[in-house]
């Protein structure tokens, strides 16, 4: 048998992935039987390549999908990518900038062509990375948000919402990025603390020599002031009510208004009102019907409305305004003041709030059913507290600005008549104006916010608005797995759109995965230089190792400090699995894999030995736990528990215990042992497959199996009747005795290879049991002989020890370290004494005896008595040793 000593992922991953894909194992078929189970993959942006967050997200989805597929469900996992408007446009713009070019130099068409070129490359790269992670998604259904089909869905939704009055166009204050030269939504603004200044400016009161002092962090906006406001109840300023201000520098009269939005305690309690450049002021302006003066333009420079400051950059204008005020004696004082400044999430430029004509979705009516759906549990968040995050935002939702002044995205399906100005919103480009019949129509140049198309993803990808078989079978999807950072951006909007256009929630469960951080818990970022490239990790450690690591660390909703050293531990686990398989391959008698009936027969035939009944029982536990944990999306517990089962039960004990029998000269014994071992291994591989698909497939194929692929085999279901309490207890006893003997040997520095004589005294019952397992005692504890309840013959030195049920002596014919032995005994005695004391106290308490459940009291008493007895024994041994 040609099987390498160490698992080499590179040799198997590509091979199996290609086989799976080419055999069509990933393909969904709406016409097949089985309960549908679908997931749409959160589409990665075509901005670059996958990061660890994607690796986590994709791994978890694949685990769920492979598990459900093996359970026999009718599975669809639909992959794809997102055009990511601003982000992708920025990437290409940056490349142009390197050649000293701007997109305006190219024009819209040529620029778009360039972005498409980029997209093709990025997408190909991303999809191949997704493959490398072992993802079993249906590639025949791969979608891209700018695909023809999806674009059709976008248009359809836009038109329907417009016709329903839920989309409107108007002049409002929006967040504007002067660098990207586009509007961005509230969610795309990051606030950062900035050490700024608070300028106190004297505003002359009209018709008097009085001055009113206002405080501002943005003096340049005063050029656009159209009022000054005070709180209506502020006694200090009652005399100002109804008066006017002569706005300095601009020398125009503006009213003093009263409005409760003014905070009396901040600054001077008098605030300048600039409806054109501040969200609060904009609203105040609407309340008081103030004119809007736009002094800062879309390029971040002062407009003609700024008079003498026109053409200056907004920051240059600030300096000039301050200088001019100072020279006129109108600057009362300057304080340093730290405050939050909004910046563009994509390019970090300070955002300029400004009034412009934009498209909006009226969102209240859409939000209501989406709130209700979660409130009624039609969609459930895991962990559950994220529903609070969702509610909080949904209940305070603002209209959604969906237009972007970009070139990369879905062009808004609105046309304007160049002749009469009529606007037409339509599914197909109108050939002429419906009002004046002119054929000089021009399409709206704005594109839609990326999230507008992403919001349709769960159904647009399945062919909506056509009534496709996919939609019928696979919508709503079962599960969405995504990060908390896009609950508002994406999850909430999919909820709204799904309910509106499909009349049902887009997914039953939203599992929120955590953020991947570095080992020190720092966010991974290029600027910190702590980014780990998942594909590089895959090359170094293998896909299975990274997948298992991510699964083990995936505690729902909490961040994951990704640790390479920890992953090395899970690579070792893969290697362990490999070698367990290798061991069987090298030692099995040639037997076919026993089927379920044969195993049932064997189990009830009474031929199975302790270790076999035990491991079959433990296997059922593992099966049950894995299924239960996956059901609850507890990936970390599912995988951790499998790790423990496979390594520390199956490998450490079971495989060790069957070695002799596997190699037994007695053919029947060897065959029986082989059969059970085959079975245990085969089930374990199936159990592990969703987590570590490659190594399990490779071993499964090499070992006795039936069927074309482990990924198509059935997922193990527990057989509770194979959980045999007696074998588990007996096994524990055996393990305890073996471990105690090993400990005694190790601590007294007996040569580990030396077979030694042993003597055990215990109850008749225990003796009978241990006698039946004598071969195991000998091989695992390195004993030459075991005698029971008889005085040891021979006069060698003795090491003594005990467990709950036995006392033992190991006979040596050479000197040994008695002091070490005494030390060991003293330590054990001290430890036991503490325990026993604590238990004794508990048992003294009448409250405990009366109120604690009977089985707890019983268990406590048992432990107490065992402890006492052990303590007595140990003290005797110590005394004997000290005497010698």
CB of 407 to RNA, least distance (A): 27
Residue from 15, 18, 328, 388 binding RNA (CB under 7 A):
388
Residue from 23, 319, 385, 882 binding RNA (CB under 7 A):
385
CB of 551 to RNA, least distance (A): 12
Q: Which residues contact 237 (CB under 8 A, 6 or more apart)?
A: 230, 231, 269, 270
Residue 32 near residue 473 (C-beta atoms within 8 A): no
Q: Which residues inside 581-610 make contact with RNA, applying CB under 7 A?
A: 582-583, 586-587
Say how far apart CA 575 and CA 586 lie, in whole Å: 16
Say how far apart CA 311 and CA 701 lie, in whole Å: 73
CB of 534 to RNA, least distance (A): 17
The packing angle between helices 667-688 and 564-587, to 10°, is: 150
- The percent of the chain in helix, strand and coil, each rounded to the nearest 5, is 50, 20, 30
Where are the extended beta strands (E) located within 114-263? Answer: 143-144, 167-177, 182-184, 189-204, 211-216, 227-230, 244-247, 252-258
Q: Which residues inside 490-529 make contact with RNA, applying CB under 7 A?
A: 517, 519-521, 523
Q: Within 689-773, where are the H helices?
A: 693-702, 725-747, 764-772
Q: Which residues inside 728-747 make contact with RNA, applying CB under 7 A?
A: 739, 742-743, 746-747
The stretch near RNA (CB under 7 A) out of 170-178, 408-416, 575-583, 871-879 is 575-583
| CB closer to RNA, 280 vs 356 | 280
Q: Which residues inside 543-572 make contact with RNA, applying CB under 7 A?
A: 553, 555, 558-559, 561, 563, 565-566, 568-572
Q: Burial level of 526, CB count in 10 A (0-12/13-18/19+)?
A: exposed
Distances (CA, A) of 728 to 554, 619, 873: 31, 12, 26
641 binds RNA (CB under 7 A): no
The stretch near RNA (CB under 7 A) out of 153-161, 184-192, 372-380, 687-695 is 184-192
Residue from 99, 396, 431, 605 binding RNA (CB under 7 A):
396
391 binds RNA (CB under 7 A): no
Secondary structure of 440-465 in HEC code, one letter for each residue: CEEECCCEECHHHHHCCHHHHCCCCC
Q: Which residues inside 687-726 make contact with RNA, applying CB under 7 A?
A: none
The stretch near RNA (CB under 7 A) out of 24-32, 292-300, 576-584, 684-692 is 576-584
530 binds RNA (CB under 7 A): no
844 binds RNA (CB under 7 A): no
Q: Which residues inside 807-836 make contact with RNA, applying CB under 7 A?
A: 827, 835
845 binds RNA (CB under 7 A): yes
Opening angle at CA 215, ends 211 and 216, nearest 5: 130
Instruction: Give the distance, in angstroms, between the CA of residue 592 and the centroid of all CA atoms in the same chain.
Output: 41
CB of 647 to RNA, least distance (A): 6
Residue from 44, 79, 248, 269 binding RNA (CB under 7 A):
269
5 binds RNA (CB under 7 A): yes
Biggest CA–CA distance in the chain, Å, is 122
CB of 299 to RNA, least distance (A): 23
| CB closer to RNA, 146 vs 273 | 273
The stretch near RNA (CB under 7 A) out of 158-166, 415-423, 441-449, 644-652 is 644-652
340 binds RNA (CB under 7 A): yes
Opening angle at CA 398, ends 263 and 162, nearest 5: 145
659 binds RNA (CB under 7 A): yes
- Strands 560-561 and 400-401 come out as unpaired
CB of 553 to RNA, least distance (A): 6
In the stretch 445-484, what mask flags binding to RNA with x, by CB under 7 A? ----------------------------------------
- Residue where the block lists tokens 């967040």: 175
CB of 421 to RNA, least distance (A): 34
Query: 233: part of which helix (H) or strand (E)?
Result: none
393 binds RNA (CB under 7 A): yes
Say how far apart CA 596 and CA 423 lie, in whole Å: 70
In the stretch 210-239, what mask flags binding to RNA with x, by CB under 7 A? ----xxxxx---------------------
Say how far apart CA 227 and CA 290 lie, in whole Å: 7
What six digits make up the tokens of 485? Answer: 């950072």
Neighbours of 421 (CB within 10 A): 10
579 binds RNA (CB under 7 A): yes
Residue from 575, 673, 730, 805 binding RNA (CB under 7 A):
575
| CB closer to RNA, 339 vs 427 | 339
2 binds RNA (CB under 7 A): no
Q: Which residues inside 278-307 make contact with RNA, applying CB under 7 A?
A: 278-280
Neighbours of 745 (CB within 10 A): 22
């Amino acid at each position: 048998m040609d099987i390498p000593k160490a698992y080499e992922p590179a040799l198997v991953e590509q091979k199996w992935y290609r086989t799976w894909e080419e055999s069509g194992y990933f393909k969904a078929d709406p016409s097949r039987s089985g309960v549908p189970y679908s997931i749409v993959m959160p589409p990665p942006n075509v901005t670059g390549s996958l990061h660890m967050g994607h690796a986590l997200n994709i791994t978890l989805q694949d685990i769920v999908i492979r598990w459900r597929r093996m359970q026999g469900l009718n599975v669809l996992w639909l992959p794809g990518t997102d055009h990511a408007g601003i982000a992708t446009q920025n990437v290409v713009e940056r490349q142009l900038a390197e050649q000293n070019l701007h997109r305006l130099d190219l024009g819209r068409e040529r620029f778009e062509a360039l972005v498409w070129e980029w997209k093709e490359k990025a997408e190909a790269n991303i999809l191949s990375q997704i493959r490398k992670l072992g993802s079993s998604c249906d590639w025949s259904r791969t979608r891209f948000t700018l695909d023809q089909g999806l674009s059709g869905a976008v248009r359809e939704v836009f038109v329907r919402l417009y016709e329903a009055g839920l989309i409107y166009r108007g002049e409002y204050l929006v967040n504007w990025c002067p660098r990207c030269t586009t509007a961005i939504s509230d969610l795309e603004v990051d606030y950062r603390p900035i050490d700024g200044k608070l300028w106190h400016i004297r505003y002359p009161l009209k018709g008097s020599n009085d001055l009113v002092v206002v405080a501002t962090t943005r003096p340049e906006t005063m050029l656009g002031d159209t009022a000054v406001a005070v709180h209506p109840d502020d006694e200090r300023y009652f005399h100002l009510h109804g008066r006017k201000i002569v706005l300095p520098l601009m020398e125009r009269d503006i009213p003093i208004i009263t409005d409760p939005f003014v905070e009396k305690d901040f600054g001077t309690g008098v605030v300048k009102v600039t409806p054109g450049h501040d969200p609060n002021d904009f609203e105040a302006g609407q309340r008081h019907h103030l004119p809007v003066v736009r002094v800062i333009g879309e390029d971040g420079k002062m407009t003609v409305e700024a008079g003498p400051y026109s053409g200056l950059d907004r920051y240059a204008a600030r300096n000039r305004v301050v200088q001019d005020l100072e020279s006129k004696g109108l600057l009362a004082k300057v304080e340093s003041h730290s405050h939050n400044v909004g910046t563009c999430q994509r390019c970090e430029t300070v955002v300029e709030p400004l009034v412009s004509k934009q498209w909006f979705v009226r969102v209240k009516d859409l939000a209501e059913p989406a709130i209700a759906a979660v409130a009624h549990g039609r969609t459930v968040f895991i962990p559950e507290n994220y529903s609070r995050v969702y509610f909080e935002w949904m209940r305070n939702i603002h209209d959604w600005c969906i237009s972007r002044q970009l070139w990369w995205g879905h062009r808004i399906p609105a046309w304007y008549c160049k002749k009469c100005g009529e606007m037409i919103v339509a599914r197909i480009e109108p050939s002429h104006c419906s009002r004046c019949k002119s054929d000089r129509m021009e399409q709206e140049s704005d594109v839609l916010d990326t999230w507008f198309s992403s919001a349709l993803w769960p159904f647009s990808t399945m062919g909506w608005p056509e009534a496709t078989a996919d939609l019928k079978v696979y919508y709503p999807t079962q599960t969405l797995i995504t990060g908390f950072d896009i609950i508002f951006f994406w999850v909430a909007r999919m909820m709204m759109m799904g309910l509106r256009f499909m009349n049902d929630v887009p997914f039953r469960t939203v599992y929120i995965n955590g953020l991947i951080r570095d080992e020190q818990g720092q966010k991974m970022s290029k600027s910190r230089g702590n980014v780990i490239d998942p594909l590089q990790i895959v090359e170094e450690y293998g896909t299975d190792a990274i997948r298992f690591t991510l699964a083990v660390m995936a505690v729902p909703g909490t961040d994951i400090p990704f640790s390479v050293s920890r992953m090395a531990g899970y690579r070792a686990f893969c290697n362990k699995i490999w070698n367990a398989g290798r061991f069987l391959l090298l030692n099995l008698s040639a037997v076919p894999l026993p089927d379920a009936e044969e195993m049932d027969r064997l189990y009830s035939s009474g031929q199975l030995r302790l270790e076999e009944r035990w491991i079959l029982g433990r296997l059922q536990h593992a099966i049950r736990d894995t299924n239960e944990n996956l059901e609850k999306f507890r990936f970390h517990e599912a995988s951790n528990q499998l790790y423990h089962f496979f390594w520390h039960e199956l490998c450490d004990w079971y495989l060790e215990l069957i070695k002799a029998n596997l190699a037994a000269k007695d053919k029947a014994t060897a065959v029986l042992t082989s059969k059970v071992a085959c079975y245990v291994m085969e089930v374990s591989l199936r159990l592990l497959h969703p987590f570590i698909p490659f190594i399990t497939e490779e071993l499964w194929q090499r070992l006795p199996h039936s069927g074309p692929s482990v990924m198509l085999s059935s997922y193990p279901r527990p057989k509770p009747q194979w959980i045999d309490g007696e074998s588990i207890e007996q096994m524990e006893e055996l393990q305890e005795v073996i471990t105690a003997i090993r400990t005694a040997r190790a601590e007294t520095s007996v040569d580990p290879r030396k077979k030694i004589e042993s003597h055990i005294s215990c109850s008749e019952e225990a003796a009978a049991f241990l006698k039946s397992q004598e071969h195991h005692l000998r091989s695992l504890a390195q004993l030459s002989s075991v005698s029971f309840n008889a005085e040891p013959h021979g006069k060698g030195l003795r090491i003594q020890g005990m467990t709950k049920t036995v006392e033992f002596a190991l006979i040596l014919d050479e000197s040994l370290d008695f002091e070490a032995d005494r030390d060991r005994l003293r330590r054990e005695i001290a430890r036991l004494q503490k325990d026993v004391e604590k238990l004794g106290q508990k048992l003294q308490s009448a409250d405990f005896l009366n109120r604690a459940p009977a089985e707890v009291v019983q268990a406590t008493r048992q432990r107490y008595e065992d402890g006492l007895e052990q303590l007595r024994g140990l003290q005797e041994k110590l005394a004997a040793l000290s005497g010698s």
